[in-house]
Amino acid sequence: MSGRGAADVAFIGCGRIARATVPGLVSAGYPAGSLRGVSGTGAGARALSQEYGTLFAASPDEAVHGARLVVIATHPHETEAVLRDLADRVGPEHVLVSLVASWRTEAVAAAIPGVPVVRAVPNVAVALRTGTTVLSRGPEATRGNLAEVETLFGRLGQVAVAEEDSLEAVSAVSGAGPALIAYFAEALAVAGVDHGLDADTASLLAAQAVRGTGALLERTDSPRTVIESVRSPGGMTAAALDMLQDRGVAEAARAATAAAIRLSYQRMATGH
Ligand SMILES: NC(=O)c1ccc[n+]([C@@H]2O[C@H](COP(=O)([O-])OP(=O)(O)OC[C@H]3O[C@@H](n4cnc5c(N)ncnc54)[C@H](OP(=O)(O)O)[C@@H]3O)[C@@H](O)[C@H]2O)c1
Q: Summarize pLDDT for 117-139 with one digit per residue, the tens.
A: 999 999 999 999 999 999 999 99
Which residue's CA is minimally distant from atom 44 of ligand 1?
75
How does strand 35-38 pair with strand 9-12? parallel
Please report, for residues 149, 181, 261, the alpha-carbon distance to residue 249 in angstroms, rounded to integers and kept in the order given.
Answer: 37, 13, 19
What is residue 165's predicted lDDT score, i.e. its pLDDT? 98
CA of 1 to the centre of ligand 1 (A): 28
**Rounded Cα–Cα distance for residues 191 and 223 (Å):** 23
CA of 72 to the centre of ligand 1 (A): 8
Choose the residue to mutate in 75, 86, 96, 268 for probing ligand 1, maximizing ligand atoms within 8 Å of C-beta: 75
Atom of ligand 1 nearest to the CA of 103: 45
Which of these, 153, 120, 144, 160, lies nearest to 1 by C-alpha position?
A: 153
- The model carries a pTM of 0.96
What is residue 5's predicted lDDT score, i.e. its pLDDT? 64
Which residue's CA is minimally distant from atom 32 of ligand 1?
40
- Give the count of beta carbons closer than 10 Å to the beta carbon of residue 118: 27
What is residue 2's predicted lDDT score, i.e. its pLDDT? 43
Please report, for residues 11, 61, 67, 156, 161, the alpha-carbon distance to residue 38 in angstroms, rounded to integers and kept in the order given.
Answer: 6, 9, 13, 22, 28
What is residue 272's predicted lDDT score, i.e. its pLDDT? 87
* CB proximity list for 131: less than 8 A, separation 6 or greater: 20, 24, 122, 123, 124, 125, 153, 156, 157, 158
- Give the count of beta carbons closer than 10 Å to the beta carbon of residue 180: 15
**Rounded Cα–Cα distance for residues 99 and 133 (Å):** 10
Exposed, middle or buried, 261 (CB in 10 Å: 0-12/13-18/19+)? middle
Which residue's CA is minimally distant from atom 35 of ligand 1?
40
pLDDT tens for 20-34 read 999 999 999 999 999
Tell me which residues have their CB closer than 6 angstroms to ligand 1.
12-18, 38-44, 73-76, 78, 81-82, 99-101, 121-124, 175
Atom of ligand 1 nearest to the CA of 82: 31
Task: Return the bridge partners of 161, or none.
Answer: 135
pLDDT tens for 39-48 read 999 999 999 9
Any idea what DSSP says for residue 5?
T
Which residue's CA is minimally distant from atom 47 of ligand 1?
101
Q: Are 128 and 94 in contact (CB under 8 A)?
A: no
β-sheet with 9-12: strand ranges across: 55-56, 35-38, 9-12, 69-72, 95-98, 117-121, 131-137, 157-161
pLDDT surpasses 80 at 1: no
Helix (DSSP H) and strand (DSSP E) numbers for the chain: 12, 8
CA of 41 to the centre of ligand 1 (A): 12
Give me the domains of the chain, ranges plus CATH numbers: 9-164 (3.40.50.720), 177-268 (1.10.3730.10)
Which residue's CA is minimally distant from atom 22 of ligand 1?
15
pLDDT tens for 185-194 read 999 999 999 9
**Rounded Cα–Cα distance for residues 29 and 185 (Å):** 32
CA of 49 to the centre of ligand 1 (A): 16
Q: What is the mean pLDDT of the chain?
A: 96
Choose the residue to mutate in 51, 56, 62, 74 for probing ligand 1, maximizing ligand atoms within 8 Å of C-beta: 74
**Rounded Cα–Cα distance for residues 126 and 97 (Å):** 16
What is residue 244's predicted lDDT score, i.e. its pLDDT? 98
Task: Return the bridge partners of 95, or none.
Answer: 69
Atom of ligand 1 nearest to the CA of 100: 45
pLDDT tens for 202-259 read 999 999 999 999 999 999 999 999 999 999 999 999 999 999 999 999 999 999 999 9
pLDDT surpasses 70 at 163: yes
CA of 16 to the centre of ligand 1 (A): 7
How does strand 9-12 pair with strand 69-72? parallel
Total residues belonging to the chain:
272
What is residue 245's predicted lDDT score, i.e. its pLDDT? 98
